[in-house]
Chains A and B, each alone.
Chain A
Amino acid sequence: MDMQTNFLDRLFESGLLIETGVDGLYGRSGEFEEVIAAFERLIDRFGGKDGAEAMRFPPGMNRAFFETSGYMKSFPQLAGTVHSFCGNELDHMSLLQCMEVGDDWTKGQEATDIVLTPAACYPLYPTVARRGALPMTGKLFDLQSYCFRHEPSKDPARQQLFRMREYVCMGTESHVTDFRQSWMDRGVEMMKLVGLEVEIDVANDPFFGRAGKMLANNQRDQNLKFELLIPITSRAKPTACMSFNYHQDAFGTKWGLNLEDGSVAHTACVGFGLERIALALFHTHGLDVKDWPDAVRKVLWG
């Protein structure tokens, strides 16, 4: 049995994750949630004084904004759209008939105006763009949302519905790159406090296809993405638990985010994969939080 399935089975047996019959779609126990809540409080202790404006969106976003974002250009394989039955009574009858005989009943479902949120910050950009120009001193936002990515896997650290906590910074190039650097330093410090072994490395997003290979190479060449990696189900391939992304002026241009002097805003974001961090803690310190080192418990629960 490989490491991933083994760890997943142990998580099910301990009740920390609850099986649903779909790979990557799990329930969480109260104890699991307690760890996530405690880690989020730790994030607040580090980032809370920065004056970020908090916003919470549900895990679905406006399809029109999703289309504008260009997500389908880069990651069509990961996107999840929400479809519903929009027919009449006759259509309903044939739908039930389809289900009865085991035919594909979903083929008549129609796309709604909602798409599952692929990253917590996606609904933010059009929201901020509607407000008008950003101050020259920049703006900082605090987000958290369940996110969806269609990548079924037995690796408990690769879930299809998971939570992402994010800080997003908008401003001048130096402002947002300083923000990103400060969180790379903070990330290492935070993980050290909770006894996790980390490394930071340059990374790329999982762009689709051969064109994606080029986008990935470009992203790496320009050091646009870094990840904080922690071994969970593999030591050779540690899991990205945080990412630090500099978008240059790509989102600023796309969404019309301008600074007060009319220049296009640069943006950067730092993301925490909350389930992955919780899993790293359980994997490193044991499946029962009562057995965790006192120093780690003290950082998380005081």
Chain B
Amino acid sequence: MNETIRDILTKVGGLPVPVADLADDSDLYTSGLSSFASVQVMLAIEEKFDIEFPDNLLNRKSFASIAAIEGTIRQILKAREAA
């Protein structure tokens, strides 16, 4: 999952630094992720993982780092399994 997220960030994140140089807990916003790019990342993740972000997870915190994105995806997948 971590690699897939990194691929998506490379493709649509528009980051000025190589994604490979980012640690899992690096702050993506201070690394240059714009609001619009974070929306692109969100849409790409939804497509790739076949999930839909609920409104309460559509926020900056969910996309603050690679680890945060991974945590958010796992949370959505878990909620889906429980449903």
Per-residue interface assignment for chain A, residues 205 to 230, with 1 indicating a CB less than 8 Å from any chain B CB and 0 otherwise: 00000110111011001100000000
> Across the interface, which residues of B come within 8 angstroms of A211, CB to CB?
39, 42-43
Query: Which residues 223-277 in A have Cβ within 8 Å of B in the complex?
Result: 250
Secondary structure dominating the interface of B: helix
Q: B20 to chain A: closest CB distance in Å? A: 25
Q: How far is the CB of A128 from chain B (nearest CB, A)?
A: 22
- The stretch among B3-11, B55-63, B74-82 that forms the contact with chain A is B55-63
Q: Assess whether A73 is interfacial by the CB under 8 Å rule.
A: yes
Question: How many Å lie between the Cα of A215 and that of B40 in the bound state?
Answer: 11
Enumerate B27-57 residues with CB–CB distance to A below 8 Å: 34-36, 38-39, 42-43, 53, 55
Report the bound CA distance from A222 to B35 in whole Å. Answer: 11
Return chain B residues, CB-CB under 8 Å to A221.
Answer: 59-61
Residue pairs across A and B with Cβ atoms less than 8 A apart, 18 shown, are A70-B36, A73-B36, A211-B42, A211-B43, A214-B39, A214-B42, A214-B53, A214-B58, A215-B35, A215-B36, A215-B39, A218-B35, A218-B38, A218-B59, A218-B60, A222-B60, A250-B34, A250-B35
B residues 58-72 in Cβ contact with A at 8 Å = 58-61
- By beta carbon, the residue of chain A nearest B63 is A214
Given contacts A214-B58, A215-B39, 7 further A-B contacts (CB under 8 A): A211-B39, A211-B42, A213-B55, A214-B53, A217-B58, A218-B38, A218-B60
Is B39 in contact with A217, judged by CB distance below 8 angstroms? no
Report how far A215 CA is from B38 CA in the complex, Å.
9
Q: How large is the interface on B (under 10, 10 to 19, 20 to 34, 35 or more residues)?
A: 10 to 19
- Considering only residues 187-219 of chain A, those with a C-beta below 8 Å from chain B are 210-211, 213-215, 217-218
Interface residues in A, total, Cβ within 8 A: 12
Give chain B residues whose Cβ lies under 8 Å from the Cβ of A70: 36
Collect the chain A residues with CB atoms within 8 Å of residue B35's CB. 215, 218, 250
A252, B38: Cα distance in complex, Å? 19
Residues of B within 8 A of A218 (CB): 35, 38, 59-60
| Cβ contacts under 8 Å, B55 to chain A | 213
Q: Chain A residues near B42: list those with CB within 8 A.
A: 211, 214
- B-chain residues with CB within 8 Å of residue A222 when the two chains form the complex: 60
Residues in B neighbouring A217, C-beta threshold 8 A: 58-60
- CA–CA, A75 to B38, complex, Å? 17
A215 to B39, CA, bound (A): 8
Q: How far is the CA of A213 from the CA of B42 in the complex (A)?
A: 12
Q: How far is the CA of A84 from the CA of B74 in the complex (A)?
A: 52
Proximity bits, A126-151, B CB within 8 Å = 1, else 0:
00000000000000000000000000
Q: Which residues of B contact A214 (CB under 8 A)?
A: 38-39, 42, 53, 58-59
Q: How far is the CA of A5 from the CA of B25 in the complex (A)?
A: 53
Query: Which B residues lie within 8 Å of A210 (CB)?
Result: 58
Q: Tell me how far the C-beta of A65 lies from the nearest C-beta in chain B, rounded to whole angstroms.
A: 18
- How many angstroms between the C-alpha atoms of A215 and B59 in the bound complex? 8
Q: Closest approach, in angstroms, between the C-beta of B13 and any C-beta of chain A?
A: 15
What's the Cα separation between A211 and B58 when bound, in Å?
8
